[in-house]
């Protein structure tokens, strides 16, 4: 006899992306199709659930148009968190509280959409379910613009951010070619990704028949030498009047000091111990201006790169939805303590399949850009890198334009005007 399906709960965690809501739409659709009764959404992830904050998604996603709008809405519709659960042996009561809430809501499947830190939550909850004999299944759905999750070819969210970065860098290069500036001009573009250079390397996508691409790209995987960098720029300006250089927010000196710490870096540290990285481009632009006497500009792409749903990659949005669907399918079919991963099965045509992998091998790990995908000098990425990223940025998702601006799905009463 078929078991009676009860309810599903889904949460979003970590840094938002342009595709995370597409995964939410995928979870919602598949849970409905598989006959689950209610689909709850945690407000601000596990942190909100601990405070009893959740919604019944079917009260908010009422028709097919809402689902389509959700896929086109950047950031985390449900609200996100960076909340680290304690170790089980340290504070069992926190887990008892969560499981009591999940039992009260009659949850069968718990889906968490997030990155490596968020997978720590799936790991701990699934471990605890084994200890207390709970039948709830815990499945992770990958998400992060950083593309640094282990065991998966790539992560939803990365392709759209990479597309935005490649496009923006190209536009900045074009802009730089317009004016003749006495003593030359250098633009430094700071890109997110913390310790992984996948996003920064995507600046190379700007290169094509009509654009030479950035003059240098510095990833956080290799130590950064400020003096060598200034020398490279000095030589560069002897050859051309305008340079555009992409740097990761996480570049650091040989001894591990972030370059951002030399500037007016923020002291903010999140629950996982990550420093907020900001101000690197502006610090380096000031160094170049004073040492080379040229005009400089610093562009920190900041949240623009992860919120740019108007330039989302179709491949990314579709894959994000399929990862959400695959997470529900896995949980429905009995998997727990796993995360959905992508396997690239063909390059041309590009084709990926999904499967599940043990979340213990993914949580808190960081997948970095391999050394062989960076040139020998350490100031650009190779063709293999670009060939890897290119399929992930293909296709467009047309925004629903209202009064000339993309329309988003939002929860009434959730946004407050100050």
Which residues are catalytic, by number? 146
- In the complex, residue closest to ligand F6P by CB: 15
Contact segment (CB under 6 A) with ligand F6P among 26-34, 143-151, 210-218, 326-334 equals: 143-151
Residue 36 tokens, joined: 């689950």
Please, which residue, 188 or 277, has the CB nearer to ligand F6P?
277
Q: If phi over 0 gives left and psi between -120 and 50 gives alpha, with beta otherwise, what is residue 382?
A: beta
Q: Any contact of residue 136 with ligand F6P (CB under 6 A)? A: no
Q: Any contact of residue 312 with ligand F6P (CB under 6 A)? A: no
Pairing of strands 242-248, 54-56: unpaired
CA distance 294 to 122: 50
Interface with ligand F6P in residues 172-231 (CB under 6 A): 192-194
Interface with ligand F6P in residues 105-134 (CB under 6 A): 115
Q: What is the enclosing helix (H) or strand (E) of 107?
A: strand 107-114
Measured from the CB of residue 8, what is the shortest distance to ligand F6P in angstroms? 25
Please, which residue, 249 or 300, has the CB nearer to ligand F6P?
249
CA distance 92 to 127: 12
Q: Any contact of residue 144 with ligand F6P (CB under 6 A)? A: yes
CA distance 316 to 20: 10
CA distance 152 to 24: 19
Closest by CA position to 372, among listed 394, 392, 352, 387 = 387
- Output phi, psi for 383, to 5 deg: -60, -35
Site string for ligand F6P, 323-362 (x = CB under 6 A): ----------------------------------------
CA 169 to chain centre: 19
Contact segment (CB under 6 A) with ligand F6P among 65-73, 139-147, 369-377, 385-393 equals: 139-147
* Options 145, 186, 206, 287; binder of ligand F6P; rule CB under 6 A: 145
The residues that bridge with 299 in the sheet, in sequence order, are 189
* Options 11, 15, 213, 279; binder of ligand F6P; rule CB under 6 A: 15
Measured from the CB of residue 24, what is the shortest distance to ligand F6P in angstroms? 17
Please, which residue, 185 or 313, has the CB nearer to ligand F6P?
313
Tell me the number of residues near ligand F6P by CB under 6 A. Answer: 14
Measured from the CB of residue 230, what is the shortest distance to ligand F6P in angstroms? 25
Sheet containing strand 185-191, strands side by side: 216-218, 242-248, 185-191, 295-300
Measured from the CB of residue 79, what is the shortest distance to ligand F6P in angstroms? 13
CA 89 to chain centre: 31
- Taking a C-beta distance cutoff of 8 angstroms, is the pair 302, 277 a contact? no
Give Rg (Cα) of the chain.
22
The residues that bridge with 405 in the sheet, in sequence order, are 402
Please, which residue, 20 or 204, has the CB nearer to ligand F6P?
20
Closest by CA position to 157, among listed 368, 349, 15, 328 = 15
Q: Any contact of residue 143 with ligand F6P (CB under 6 A)? A: no
Measured from the CB of residue 284, what is the shortest distance to ligand F6P in angstroms? 18
Interface with ligand F6P in residues 249-308 (CB under 6 A): 249, 276-277, 303, 306
Q: Any contact of residue 72 with ligand F6P (CB under 6 A)? A: no
Given the rule CB under 6 A, which residues bind ligand F6P? 14-15, 115, 144-146, 192-194, 249, 276-277, 303, 306
């Amino acid at each position: 006899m078929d078991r009676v399906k009860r309810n599903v709960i889904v949460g979003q965690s970590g840094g938002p992306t342009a595709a995370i809501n597409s995964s939410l739409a995928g979870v919602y659709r598949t849970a409905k199709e598989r006959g689950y009764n209610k689909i709850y959404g945690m407000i601000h992830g596990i942190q909100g659930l601990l405070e009893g904050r959740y919604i019944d998604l079917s009260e908010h996603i009422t028709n097919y148009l809402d689902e389509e709008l959700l896929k086109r809405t950047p950031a985390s519709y449900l609200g996100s968190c960076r909340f680290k659960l304690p170790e089980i042996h340290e504070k069992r009561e926190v887990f008892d509280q969560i499981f009591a809430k999940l039992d009260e809501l009659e949850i069968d499947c718990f889906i968490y959409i997030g990155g490596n830190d968020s997978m720590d939550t799936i790991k701990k909850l699934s471990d605890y379910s084994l200890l207390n004999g709970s039948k709830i299944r815990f499945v992770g759905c990958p998400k992060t613009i950083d593309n640094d999750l282990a065991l998966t070819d790539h992560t939803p969210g990365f392709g759209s951010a990479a597309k935005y970065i490649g496009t923006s860098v190209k536009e900045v290069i074009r802009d730089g070619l317009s004016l003749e500036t006495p003593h030359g001009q250098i633009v430094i573009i700071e890109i997110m990704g913390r310790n992984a250079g996948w996003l920064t390397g995507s600046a190379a996508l700007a290169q094509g028949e009509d654009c030479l691409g950035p003059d240098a790209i510095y990833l956080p995987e290799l130590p950064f030498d400020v003096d060598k960098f200034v020398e490279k720029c000095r030589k560069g300006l002897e050859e051309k009047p305008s340079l555009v250089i992409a740097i990761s927010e996480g570049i650091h000196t040989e001894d591990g000091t972030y370059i951002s710490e030399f500037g007016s870096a923020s002291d903010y540290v999140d629950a996982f111990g990550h420093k907020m990285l900001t101000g690197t481009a502006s610090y380096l632009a000031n160094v170049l201006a004073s040492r080379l006497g040229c005009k400089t500009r610093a562009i920190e792409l900041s949240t623009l790169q992860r919120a740019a749903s108007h330039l989302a990659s179709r491949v990314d949005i579709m894959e994000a939805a399929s990862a959400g669907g695959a997470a529900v399918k896995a949980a429905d079919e009995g998997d727990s303590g796993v995360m959905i991963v992508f396997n690239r099965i063909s390059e041309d045509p590009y084709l990926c399949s999904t499967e599940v992998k043990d979340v213990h091998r993914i949580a808190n790990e960081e997948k970095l850009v391999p050394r062989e995908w960076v040139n020998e000098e350490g100031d650009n990425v190779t063709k293999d890198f670009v060939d890897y990223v290119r399929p992930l940025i293909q296709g467009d998702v047309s925004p629903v334009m209202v009064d000339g601006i993309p329309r988003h799905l939002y929860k009434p009463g959730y946004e407050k005007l100050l």
